Structure 1
Amino acid sequence: MNALLGVFFHFIGGFASGSFYIPFKKVKGWNWESFWIVGGLFSWLIVPPIAAYLTIPGFMDIIKGTASSGLLITYIFGVLWGIGGLTYGLGVRYLGVSLGSSVILGLCMVFGAIIPAIYYDFNPVIGKDTFSGMISNSWG
């Protein structure tokens, strides 16, 4: 039964992923900013809370019981994620899909490797490599 449930969930995910592009034909005359803000409102602000409310028992109690500092950090990282998505879209628009994706994903890999090491310079943890350790050793 669990295998069938897994196949069903994959079907739903594949359908949702594939049907994302259906509205593109209807909004060809729109500016890309207008299309993405409408899509963003639905996919980031409207549907997730509704889906969470319908599928997670006591969802509102969980949100109400969360510390405000935790919610603030969540919102800040959400805004940063949105800025990243916006700049990705602009990069692809102006550089093209191939070059834009290559440059942007390359930058993500570089910063994804360096930023944690810089963090561990300020907050050391045993077993984690620091940025200063990386630049001072021959292996780094």
Structure 2
Amino acid sequence: MVIGVIWVLLAATLLGFYALPSKYTENYAIENTWAGFWFLAMFLVPILATLGLVDGLFDTYRQVPNNLFIIIFLFSLLWGVGNLLWGISISKIGMALGFSLLIGVSTLVGSILPFFMGGIEKLSSKGGLVILLGIFIIMLGIMANGKAGLLREKNESKNQEFTNETSNNKMRNGIILCIVGGFSAAGFNLAYHVADNLAHIGSISQDQFNNASWIARLAVMLPAFIGSGICILIYFSIQLTKNKTWTHFSNKGSVKNIFLLLIMSIVYCASLIIYGLGAYELGPLGTTVGFAIFQTGCIMVANILGYFTGEWKNAGKQSKNWLIRGLAIMTVGIVVIAYGNALI
């Protein structure tokens, strides 16, 4: 269990850092940067890694019922929609509220639903109840984190008033999109749960073809990458065509940009594969316990990184105090969830 928690926290740390190279791309519109990244992260990197490392890949997939592949694909499409709505919603309601809402909803849905997909009998056990308590504590921490973010934005934008009807509608629509995006983003964990716990892709890959557990995670996650990637790239293809920015891919410095995006993609994919390994090590409720820790860890890493890079410099004392409270509460929640998993 301890090894599983360590893997998941490492995955969360990597995911907290993956976007850093995007700050150094040049002569690209935002849609060039993210279209390039998603193509590499959802297709090129996982496909090459899986084909190159996984033995018996197609023989493994042949043993999976078609209806389960369809379910995995549908959940992966939801994941893609969630990724898109995340970017759209924060442009309407701001990073702090948007991040907290989306991650909060995604954590709640993605952690609770796996109980009802093969683990319902564990829900009423002592360990299951402790895990639910830990998830509730984490949600309180996320709410405190959101409070800190709202106070920070208020402190940094004292001269901006959002009182007119247009701004109110923008905020309302942004919150709706964020909540829908949170439900959709949970599709990643649900796709993984179906692929590993119901379709048994990981165990087939390990037991029949002697793949290491981390290599078997590639086989488990590849279908989810494909579905999400299709959804995301359709959107960005429309944006590139609409803004006439396809030609930016040939701008000066494009080779350096693609190299930076490749680094981002490798780190991003590695974080998800390592999460899968951690969830596997955590046992029958790994997708419940692991996802809650993974999402919480991402929030904590992102905020700590932002704090030490000056993002909270002008946030004000009250905002910083709420940030510390939120991080402390989420830490307690992680400990409680880990303890609950040990009781299963």
Identify the residue that residue 48 of structure 1 maps to in structure 2: 46
Q: Report the counterpart of residue 30 of structure 1 in structure 2.
A: 29
Q: Partner letter of residue 63 of structure 1?
A: Y
Cα RMSD (Å):
4.0
Aligned to 1:58: 56
- After TM superposition, the structure 1 stretch with the greater mean CA deviation from structure 2, 108-117 or 58-67, is 108-117
CA offset at residue 22 of structure 1?
1.8
The answer (yes or no) to whether the contact 1:92–1:100 under 8 Å persists in 2 is: yes
Provide structure 2 residue ranges, at least 5 long, that are not aligned to the other structure: 1-5, 125-344
Q: What is the TM-score of this pair, normalised by structure 1?
A: 0.59
In the alignment, what sits opposite 1:72?
70
Aligned to 1:98: 96
**SS of the residue 1:57 aligns to:** coil
- Percent identical across equivalent pairs? 20
Matching residue of 1:137: none
Cα distance change on mapping 1:17 and 1:48 into 2, 3 Å: farther
How far off is 1:19 after superposition?
A: 5.7
How many positions carry a matched residue from both structures?
A: 116
Contact kept, 8 Å, 1:92 with 1:101, in 2: the verdict is: yes
The answer on 1:87 being equivalent to 2:85 is yes
Offset of 1:77 from its aligned partner? 0.8
SS at match of 1:91: helix
Query: Which of structures 1 and 2 has the larger relative contact order (alpha carbons within 8 angstroms, sep 6+)?
Result: 2
Deviation at 1:51, TM superposition (A): 0.9
CA distance in 2, matches of 1:63, 1:75: 14
* TM, length-normalised to structure 2: 0.28
Q: Provide the C-alpha distance between the structure 1 equivalents of 2:63 and 2:80, rounded to a whole number of angstroms.
A: 26
Q: Which structure 1 residue ranges, 5 or more long, are not aligned?
A: 1-5, 130-140
Determine the structure 2 residue equivalent to 1:136: none
Cα shift readout 1:62-109 (whole Å, capped 9, x = no counterpart): 224432222211111110011111111222232222121122233335
Say if 1:91 and 1:104, in contact at 8 Å, map to a contact too: no
**Distance verdict in 2 for CA 1:61–1:44, change over 3 Å:** same
